[in-house]
Amino acid sequence: MPTAAFTTLGCKVNQYETQRILDDFEARGFGITEFNKHADVYVINTCSVTQAAERKSHYMVRKVATQNPDAIVVMTGCYGEMAKIKGETVAEASLIVPNHQKLQTLQHLLRKYPELEDALDTQPTLPAKSTARRTRATLKVQDGCNVFCTFCSIPYTRKVMHSRPLGELVAEAELRAAQGYRELVVTGVLVGAYGQEPNFGRSELSDATPLLQITTQPHSWSPETNYSRPDLADVLLRLTQVPGIERVRLSSIEPTQVTDRLLQAFASEPKLCPHLHIPLQSGDSGILRTMNRPYDQQYYLDRCAAAYAAIPDLAITSDIMVGFPGEDRAAFENTLVVVRSVGFARAHLFRYSPRPNTPAADFIDQIPDAEKEARSKELTAACRESQQKFIQKFLGRTLEVLVENREGHSAAGGDESDAGSSGNDGNTAIEIENGGSANQLLLSGYTGNYIRVQFTGGSHLIRTVVKVQLTEPTTDGAIGEVGGAHFAPQEAPPDADFIPLATFAAALA
């Protein structure tokens, strides 16, 4: 049996696509192994959103080709497209699959290397239910971007605007639920553009096709109501109806696509996580115009205010850039004003880096690296303060947490998730370091409004939703406490010693 290994660079859309490719290989009979182990085929889903991402993408291809000269090295993703645009060659890659055909990677591979097919089982198999690897599954509903922000290369590497049919999305969600996933993270390159292609839906929808409507009541879709085509709100509401799915989270949405209809959907459906990731990029209206972002500071503030008014306990997270060409001190101060006004629950911070063939790369008023670094530190401090204020509001409250894993706990915390960000921002990510040592294994998970909570409990709670009282803050989340023992009578899991002493003391009183 030939073996295959996979790795992903870049955004959540890439992560989703790699999982789809892996599922195809597994179903066809390939043995799946870790990327750092020996394999017959290595598949690298690359990224070009920053210069660093391009360098790392090429490095990963070169590394496996050098370490395993007999292996087949398959490259796909945005860096493959950008390398072609720039006239670069990636000689170490045995096969380069075009970005828009990456979900046909297996077919491309078997056409070029038919001997692999001879070594596979003759009967393809379906992936086993045990292949569920995480509590949260990413579901890509849309691809392509046509906005052409002046700093971003994504419209050049993901040119085709495409929305997946609603029925196809529901079927995939049902599969993920059967595999044990409890939360869906809905993502896309420009996810709010779902369903906006001129001919979308006409081939698969008829006048009798049940679509969704939004009212103020939960589970508010109706088979009697028809629209010409579904939009993002319809998709989100329909996914909440899939049995076994307890949460649906939206990964990232542009400010201009935070419509009243979308907010009404979140307000009406408890399974929609009260969390909106709304990229800001800059809080200065002049810089936003130069970026070709279709909103100004006041529009952004107004949309956030409308979202807070509509959705209880809402968390707003964001992507913010520093050092865009022409950003003077006053423009940077305007970004700080928005950070403090909105009160972001979390923010991904980026330093601007020029992308080839984008207009901003040729702007003459580039910001020195030292100034970018200084501003990034100042912005990091402001965002941390905003995050802490958000967490403080929920201390003492009991919130539902989807338990994902057991991990080391330190007082400083640490963030291993990027559920909010699409990653399509054309900039250099700032890594925020957290100190401390892992000295206690705690359960960990996220509330619906994206607070990372760690607490004591048994491993039987993993992949379940439990009620946790938030008791004290950490750098990036909170320590919590479950309300009581989660055992049936005379039943306890092997790690019952993780149940708080207070629980047993109360039971004996």
Q: To 10 degrees, the CA torsion angle through 481, 487, 493, 498?
A: 20
State pLDDT tens for residues 52-109: 788 888 888 999 998 889 999 999 988 888 888 778 888 899 999 988 888 899 999 9
Percent of the chain as helix, strand, coil, to the nearest 5:
35, 20, 45
Q: Among residues 196, 197, 199, 221, which one has the least CA distance to residue 210? A: 221
Identify the three-state secondary structure at position 440. Answer: coil
Q: Are residues 309 and 224 in the same domain?
A: no
Is the per-residue pLDDT at 148 higher than 80?
yes
**Structure tokens that stand for 427 in this block:** 């900039």
Mean pLDDT along residues 383-398: 95
Which residue range is the domain that position 311 belongs to? Answer: 274-390
d(CA 451, CA 274): 11
**Structure tokens that stand for 156 in this block:** 């050049």
Task: Give me the CATH number covering residue 370.
Answer: 3.30.750.200
Which one of 390, 408, 436 terminates a domain?
A: 390
pLDDT of the residue at 224? 33
pTM, whole model, 2 decimals?
0.72
Q: Are residues 230 and 283 in the same domain?
A: no
**Structure tokens that stand for 329 in this block:** 């001190």
Which comes out higher in pLDDT, residue 143 or 417?
143
Q: Are residues 11 and 108 in the same domain?
A: yes
Mean predicted lDDT score pLDDT of the chain: 81
pLDDT of the residue at 431? 31
* Residue 488 CA to its chain's centroid (Å): 36
Neighbours of 471 (CB within 10 A): 13
Which one of 359, 390, 421 terminates a domain?
A: 390
Q: Are residues 467 and 404 in the same domain?
A: yes
- The CA distances from residue 135 to 179, 248, 444, in Å, are 10, 12, 11
State pLDDT tens for residues 314-368: 999 999 999 999 999 999 999 999 999 999 999 999 899 888 788 998 999 999 9
Is the per-residue pLDDT at 477 higher than 80?
yes
- Is 124 inside a domain boundary? no
- Is 82 inside a domain boundary? yes
Which comes out higher in pLDDT, residue 227 or 381?
381
d(CA 469, CA 446): 13
Q: Are residues 224 and 318 in the same domain?
A: no
Which one of 335, 370, 390 terminates a domain?
A: 390
| 3-state SS string for 137-148 | EEEEEEECCCCC
Q: Are residues 370 and 411 in the same domain?
A: no
d(CA 359, CA 152): 9
- The CA distances from residue 344 to 25, 27, 151, in Å, are 40, 42, 23
Q: Are residues 291 and 386 in the same domain?
A: yes
